[in-house]
Structure 1
Amino acid sequence: MASSSSPRRSLFRPCIDLHGGQVKQIVGGTLLDDNPEALKTNFVASKSPAEFAQLYREHGLVGGHVIKLGSGNDEAAKEALAVWPGGLQIGGGINDKNAREWIDAGAGKVIVTSFLFPGGNFDVERLKAIATIVGHERIVVDVSCRKRDDKWLVAMNKWQDITDMEVCKDSLDLLSEYCSEFLVHAADVEGLCQGIDEELVKKLGEWVQIPTTYAGGAKDISDLDLVERLSNGKVDLTYGSSLDIFGGKLVKFDELVERNKRALSP
C-alpha cells in the first residue's frame, strides 16, 4: 500500500449492473417504469454475474458495486456475492427489513438510496435504523443525482424521481455520520460514454470526507487521472459501457488493473 505520507490516488472500482437477472450496461436516463420500451441497453453479457465477481476477485478489485436495477435480480446478485464474500457491495431495493439478509449473503456493504426518501423526502431516522441493524461501517449511501439548474439533486427509483436533497457539503456531512462510503452515479451522463461530469467530481473532492466512488460517462483510461486531479485523489471511478469486458471499445480492463497496481504500490 502507499505510505501514509503519499497523497491518495484515485482507483478504478468495478461494477455489476443487473437487469432481468443479467449483467447489462444501460443508459441511465432510460430506465422508465411507465415506458419500458424507452430502455436503451448498450450491452448484455454472455457471462454470468458470478463470473464477473470471480474476475474482480482474481485481480483484487475490492469494493465493487452490484446494483439490482428492478426486480428479478436477487438470485443473480446472491450468486455473485457468494463468489467473493465481503468483496462486493449490494444496492437496489435495500431497506431496514433486508439489509442484514444481504450482509449475511456475503455483501461487504449495503448500498441504500430510495428507502431513505419516502415520498421523495429525506428521512434521517430511516438511515439511523439501518445503521443500528448492520453498523454504519457497512453502509454506502448512494447519492446518485441529476442536475437541475445549478444544483445536483439526489435521484431515486432507478434515477427516475428527484428528491428534496441537494448534493452539497452540508448534506454529505450529515449522511457521513451514519455511513462509511458514498456512491454517486451522475445519472444524466450514465451510459453515454461522452465524458465525466467534471464539475461534479471537482465538487465531490471538495466536499467528501469518506471514501467516494463516482460513476457516469467515463470513456478513456485518462479519465481516471482526470478524476484524481479534479478530486485530489479523494474520489474513485467506475467504468461501464466504455469498458471492453462490457462490450466497449474505448477502455481495456487489464490496463485499469495495472493502473490500480501502480497507484497502490509503495
Structure 2
Amino acid sequence: MLRSRIIPVLLVRNKGLVKTTKFGDDKYVGDPINAVRIFNEKEADELTVFDIDASVNESEPDYKMIENLASECRMPLCYGGGVKTLQQALNILSLGVEKVALSSALISNPSLVNDIAAQVGNQSVVAVLDVKKRLLGGYKVFTHNGKKASNVDLVDFCKDLEVRGVGEIVINSIDRDGTMQGYDKALIKKVKEAVNVPVTLCGGASDHADLGQTIAEFGPIGVAAGSLFVFKGKYRAVLISYPNSNDKEKIFSEGQK
C-alpha cells in the first residue's frame, strides 16, 4: 500500500553540502556524509541527494562520492545529477542507490526513461521537474539549476513520463525553494490530478504543520524539504533535524483525518 513519506533533500556542490534559495544564493551547511549519519540516527523515511553542478558542468556523476553516501545510508537513497545514459544509471544503482533521478536528460533524451525502466524496473526511475510560475499563469519547466527553460507543457510532460515508465515524479518549485513559505498547493494539485504514479513535492516547506496539511490534502504523497531539515530559527543557523516518532505520528495523523 502506497504511503506518504517525509524526505530530506541534500544538495551537493563541490563535494560540500549547500542550501539554495530560489536556486541561487547557496549557503554551505556542512559535510554530506555527516548529514547522512544524522538522518540515519533520526530514522528518516528516505533520503534524496542532488549534485547540482553535474548537469550544468556536463560532468560525469561522482561515483566515489555516491558510493561513500550509499555505504553510509541506512535508508532508501535517491541520487540525481549528471545522469545522461543508461550505463551511468546502472553504475549508480550498482553502488547501492535505490533510485536514480533524471532532470535535464528528460528533456534532451526522454527515451532514457524507457531504457532504464526496462532494465531495472519503474521503481528505480525518478523524474525531477524544476518548475517556475509563468507571469501570465501556468508553470514552466526548467533545467540546469533553473537556468535553461524548456518548451514542454508541465501536465502533458508528466503524463508522457508516466507512460514511459517513471516510478515517481518529483516536482521542485523554484519560486518556493529555500523560502520556507509553504508548499505551492496549486502546483501539486495540477500534477496529482494528471498522473497515477507517486508524486513528491519539494520547495517551500515551512514547518511540520505544512507537511501534515499537505499530506491531508493530497496524500499519499512525498513531502520533501531542505531548509526545514538543515536550518533552525530566523537566523537560519545550521542544525540538522527531522521529525521524531511522536512528531511523525502527528504529521501522518493529520493526513488521515
TM range (shorter): 0.7 to 0.9
SS at match of 2:174: coil
Greater mean alpha carbon deviation, residues 67-76 or residues 191-200: 67-76
SS at match of 1:242: helix
Q: 1:113 aligns with which of 97, 100, 103?
A: 103
Contact 1:11 1:224 in 2 (8 A): no
2:109 is the alignment partner of 1:126: no
**Percent identity (aligned):** 20
TM-score (norm 1): 0.79
Equivalent residues in 2 for 1:54-65, closer than 5 Å? 54-65=37-48
Whole-Å separation in 2 of the counterparts to 1:127 and 1:17:
23
Aligned equivalent of 2:121:
135
Aligned equivalent of 2:248:
260
Summarize the Cα distance change of 1:242–1:85 in structure 2 as closer, same or farther, 3 Å threshold: closer
Whole-Å separation in 1 of the counterparts to 2:51 and 2:8:
15
2:208 is the alignment partner of 1:221: yes
Equivalent residues in 2 for 1:1-266, closer than 5 Å? 10-30=4-24, 40-41=25-26, 43-46=27-30, 48-71=31-54, 74=62, 75-84=64-73, 87-96=76-85, 97-118=87-108, 123-148=109-134, 149-168=136-155, 170-177=156-163, 178-231=165-218, 233-243=219-229, 246-249=230-233, 253-255=241-243, 258-261=246-249, 263=252
Contact 2:35 2:240 in 1 (8 A): no
- Give the number of the structure whose residues are more often strand, by fraction: 2
Deviations 1:138-178 (A, max 9, x none): 1001122112232222211112111122221x432321231
Contact 2:5 2:222 in 1 (8 A): yes
Give ranges in structure 2 of 5+ residues lacking alignment: none
How far does residue 108 in structure 1 lie from its aligned partner after superposition? 0.5
SS at match of 1:14: strand
Whole-Å separation in 1 of the counterparts to 2:113 and 2:167:
12
Whole-Å separation in 2 of the counterparts to 1:217 and 1:256:
21
Whole-Å separation in 2 of the counterparts to 1:235 and 1:207:
14
Summarize the Cα distance change of 1:10–1:85 in structure 2 as closer, same or farther, 3 Å threshold: closer
TM-score (norm 2): 0.82
Deviations 1:155-206 (A, max 9, x none): 11112111122221x4323212311111111012211222221211222332
Contact 1:10 1:225 in 2 (8 A): no
SS at match of 1:223: helix
Whole-Å separation in 1 of the counterparts to 2:244 and 2:200:
15
Summarize the Cα distance change of 1:192–1:258 in structure 2 as closer, same or farther, 3 Å threshold: same
Deviations 1:234-265 (A, max 9, x none): 3221222233xx2332798343654334538x
Amino acid corresponding to residue 83 of structure 1 in structure 2: E
Greater mean alpha carbon deviation, residues 127-136 or residues 152-161: 127-136
Whole-Å separation in 2 of the counterparts to 1:45 and 1:183:
23
How far does residue 12 in structure 1 lie from its aligned partner after superposition? 1.5
